[in-house]
Amino acid sequence: MPFSLAIPTYNSSEFILDAIRLPVKNELISEIIINDDGSSNEEYQKLLNVINEQNSEKIKVYKNENNSGAFKNKYDAITKCTNKWVYLLDSDNYVHEGMLEKFFNQDLQDNVCYMPHKYDFDSSIVEIQLGFENLNAESIKQAIKNNTIGHFVNLCNFFVNKDLFLERMKEGFDIEVFPIADCATMTYLWLKNGGEFKVIKDYHYYHRVRGNGYYLSNRSEAEKCVAHYNNKILQL
């Protein structure tokens, strides 16, 4: 079964090669969809130059006329995928050797969003401490109450059923708090609609920290957004 890789980008051409280096060679990934969120013309051309050097027909690049924010750009990237299952990867992250197969070898369930177990973050390795069974709203609520949720609600790097994910994320365009912390919003909407999560044991990836990244450049509002959706999860 073929899989899609969806990569939202914004002024991040210098990182895209790391993101696609292994996926472009992986035979199970039939397409890599890159959706640029209105980068500057110079940045977009640099992105195209990197992609063209790969000489791969599986890479398709799209560009939004205007910047729409991370939530919508991720949504738009997934809409352009053609396979049932999609891996959503931030453009400044990358997977380690042999990790993609850990996703693809799962007994995939449509109602489950699959996530990595650990990641390189700020010069250290961070592990998600929520266990490896399916995690429903009650599991996540307990982790929030126990303060063991960690960065779980702000990682993305989701491996999901495309159509089900898009359907559940529609509400994100009409909610009371703008989804500046896009992953926290997605986590809430997935759980709200009965979805579950599963942490894939030993799946390891690199999570880049950028001061000019979307989250950190809007940190105060983003942290308020995360707190808001943690509280929304607690009310489910």
**pLDDT reported for residue 154:** 75
pLDDT value at 225 more than 90: no
Considering the chain, what is the average pLDDT of its residues?
Answer: 91
pLDDT value at 212 more than 90: no
**pLDDT reported for residue 49:** 97
Q: Encoding tokens for residue 3?
A: 């899989």
Model confidence over 13-50: pLDDT tens digits?
Answer: 999 999 999 999 999 999 999 999 999 999 999 999 99
**pLDDT reported for residue 206:** 92
Share above pLDDT 70 across residues of the chain, in percent, rounded to a whole number: 95
Which segment, 113-122, 123-132, 162-171, is predicted with the most confidence on average? 162-171
End-to-end CA distance of the chain: 35
| CA angle, residues 180, 203, 6, in degrees to nearest 5 | 45
**213 falls in which pLDDT band (50, 70, 90)?**
low
**216 falls in which pLDDT band (50, 70, 90)?**
low
For residue 158, give the nearest of 131, 183, 141 by alpha carbon: 183
Residues in the chain, how many? 236
Q: Domains in the chain and their CATH numbers?
A: 3-234 (3.90.550.10)
Contact (CB, 8 A) for 236 and 141: yes
Share above pLDDT 90 across residues of the chain, in percent, rounded to a whole number: 72
Locate the DSSP E strands across the chain. 3-9, 29-36, 59-63, 85-88, 94-95, 112-121, 124-127, 159-161, 196-206
**pLDDT reported for residue 17:** 97
Window from 25-39, 100-114, 151-165 with minimum mean pLDDT: 151-165
How far is 9 from 47, CA to CA, in rounded Å?
9
pLDDT value at 109 more than 90: yes
Give me the mean pLDDT over the 51-58 stretch. Answer: 96
**pLDDT reported for residue 210:** 64
Window from 56-65, 79-88, 173-182, 220-229 with minimum mean pLDDT: 173-182
Q: Is 13 exposed, middle or buried (0-12, 13-18, 19+ CB in 10 A)?
A: buried
pLDDT value at 7 more than 90: yes
**pLDDT reported for residue 214:** 59
Q: Is 218 exposed, middle or buried (0-12, 13-18, 19+ CB in 10 A)?
A: middle
